[in-house]
Structure 1
Amino acid sequence: MAEPTWQETLRLRLVERNARESSYAPVIEQYRRLAQQTKLLKERNASLLRAMGSARPNPSSSTVFVPGTGEDNPVRAAYIASLESQISSLRDELATVYKTQGQNAQRLLAMNETLREKEEMSRVDSESLRKSRDEIAILRKKVEQHSELMSEKDRTAQILHDEINTLQLELSQIEERNQTLTKDNAKLLQRWLDAKQAEVNRMNEANDFYEDLQTRRQAALNKQAGANGDDMGDAASTTTNGSGNGEDRRETGSATTTDGTPSLAETDVNLTPNG
């Protein structure tokens, strides 16, 4: 699991501070060792000087001192004490070195563990980065496909828009034609109705004229029937020639009357209800 950002920043700043502060640590350590060695040497020299001051003179010479001629030589004792002190100091230093080495080993283990965790985190981050790059590549392809699809849809929409404009223009023209045809049909229908009304009026006039002729014909027939009843005795005494002449007169009378007007029979034959 990745550490929070502020913790990682704090850790990096502490590492930078430790590196900055420990940059002169080897020089300081050398100076410390040099000072400790100088102190030991000064103590050793002081011990030797004290031992020389308290040493006995040699019986054979008044000026030369021979160290180590006696078992209780103070120079030798001081030298041994100095060496023992130096050995003790070196042992303490060695213990300190071992302690520091142990601490360094612990720090090395901790750093190795941290390094392993960082490597694992780096591996996880690398895998996540690889997956993210793959997803980005897939998303880019989808974006390109969507862009192409939108371009195609825009072209299709433009084509449809042009077709709609064309159809609207055609529709407006058709509506204008329909309006014109509607007006023409209304005019034609009105003319047809007027013609039919005139025809109906003519037929009504013809029917009225026909009925009038029928009435006049009936009146003439009734009048002729009365006249035939009065002349029936004279018709029986006529001769054969006279009867022939009478037929001629009846045939002629069927065409014209005595005053020269057309008879009713001819009028019925020539006139129809349609005029």
Structure 2
Amino acid sequence: MGEPSWQETLRLRLVERNAKESAYSPIIEQYRRLAQQTKLLKERNASLLRAMGTARANPSSSTVFVPGSGEDNPVRAAYITSLESQISSLRDELATVYKTQGQNAQRLLSMTETLREKEEFSRIESENLRKSREEISVLRRKVDQHNELMSEKDRTAQILHDEINTLQLELSQIEERNQILTKDNAKLLQRWLDAKQAEVNRMNEANQLYEELQSRKQAMLNSKKGSTTSDEASEALSLDDQSSGNGESRRSSGSTTTRNGTLSPTEKEPSKTPNG
């Protein structure tokens, strides 16, 4: 499993930093050893000079090393002292190296454990990242589906809006036709009422004329009552025939009267509808 990009970047930067910091470490180590060696040589030379000073102060002592001689030689003693000091210094340095090696081993174990924990953490993070990417892909698909659904709903809403506009236009046209029909109906009703009013007026005039004729007939009969001449009787009969003829003509026109001159309720014209 490949490491994440940020971890690889961090590792590369740490390697670069360590490389920059350890670029001069060999030279520094050489200078340290050289300084330590110089110190040891200085101590050795100082001990040798002290031994030479002691030998000059005591001329009876031999300054030449004679192998197998049991006498103490100051130069030899100084050289041994210098070697012992070098051995002690090397032992201290070796102990320091062992101590540093132990510390480095401990640090190596700690760093190994830390590296293992980091790798485990990196593995967990990589797994979480993989799951997150899968969730993102699922959510993106859902978003695409929702966008398609919203687009379909927008198209449906546009179609419904167009249909509503069409229906509103048709409704306005129907209302306009209804208003026109209402006006036409009102005009027809008014014309029918006017026609009926004119017919009633004509019937009233006919009834009034009939009543006048009846009153004249009655007056003539009353004025000539008691006269028995044939001329007067014939005139009365002719007048009666004329009156009965006028009544029959009125009956033929569709109106009948009772004895008192009013229209008979059973013979009135049937009511017509407003449409005729």
1:68 aligned partner: 67
Alignment partners' CA distance in 1, 2:91 and 2:234: 186
Matches of 2:151 and 2:66, distance apart in 1:
110
- Greater Cα shift, 112-121 or 141-150: 112-121
Q: 1:1-275 counterparts in 2 under 5 A?
A: 20-44=20-44, 47=47, 54=55, 56=62, 65-74=64-73, 75-216=75-216, 226-227=225-226, 257=238, 262-272=241-251, 274=255
Unmatched 5+ stretches in structure 1: 1-12, 58-64, 235-245
> Is the CA contact 2:221–2:236 (under 8 Å) kept in the aligned structure 1?
no
Q: Is the 8 A contact 1:254 1:265 kept in 2?
A: no
- Structure 1 residues 103, 115: CA separation in 2 closer, same or farther (over 3 Å shift)? same
Which amino acid counterpart does residue 69 of structure 2 have in structure 1? Answer: G
What letter is aligned with 2:67?
G
1:201 deviates by 1.2
TM-score when scaled to structure 1? 0.67
Check the 8 A contact 2:65/2:76 in 1, yes or no: no
Whichever of the two has the greater Rg, that structure is 1
Q: What is the alpha-carbon distance in structure 2 between the residues aligned to residue 85 and residue 171 of structure 1? A: 121
Per-residue CA deviations over 1:80-106 (Å, capped at 9, x if unaligned) read 323322221111001111222233234
Of the structure 1 ranges 46-55 and 173-182, higher mean CA displacement relative to structure 2 is found in 46-55
Instruction: Give RMSD over aligned pairs.
Output: 3.9
Q: Which runs of 5+ in 2 are unaligned?
A: 1-12, 56-60, 257-276
Count of residues in Structure 1 that have an aligned counterpart in Structure 2: 235
CA–CA distance in 2 between the matches of 1:88 and 1:40?
11
- CA drift of 1:135 comes to 2.9
Identity of aligned residues (%): 71
- Residue deviations 1:178-235 (CA, integer Å, cap 9, x gap): 22212211211111111111112122223323434444555566678x45xx75xx9x
**Per-residue Cα deviation, 1:142-184 (whole angstroms, up to 9, x for no partner):** 2212221221122112212221222222122222212221221
C-alpha separation between the residues in 2 aligned to 1:39 and 1:263? 180
Q: d(CA) in 2 for partners of 1:136 and 1:221?
A: 123
- Rounded to whole Å, the distance in 2 between the matches of 1:130 and 1:199 is 101
Query: Which amino acid in the other structure matches residue 194 of structure 1?
Result: D
Instruction: Give the alignment's TM-score, normalised by structure 2.
Output: 0.67
CA–CA distance in 1 between the matches of 2:219 and 2:250? 18
SS in 2 for 1:271: helix
1:10-43, CA deviations, whole angstroms, 9 ceiling, x for partnerless residues?
A: xxx9998777545423321222112212332454
> Quick one: distance in 1 between partners of 2:103 and 2:94?
14
Deviation digits for residues 226-249 of structure 1 (CA, Å, limit 9, x no counterpart): 45xx75xx9xxxxxxxxxxx9xx9
Structure 2 Cα separation of the partners of residues 130 and 187 of structure 1 = 84
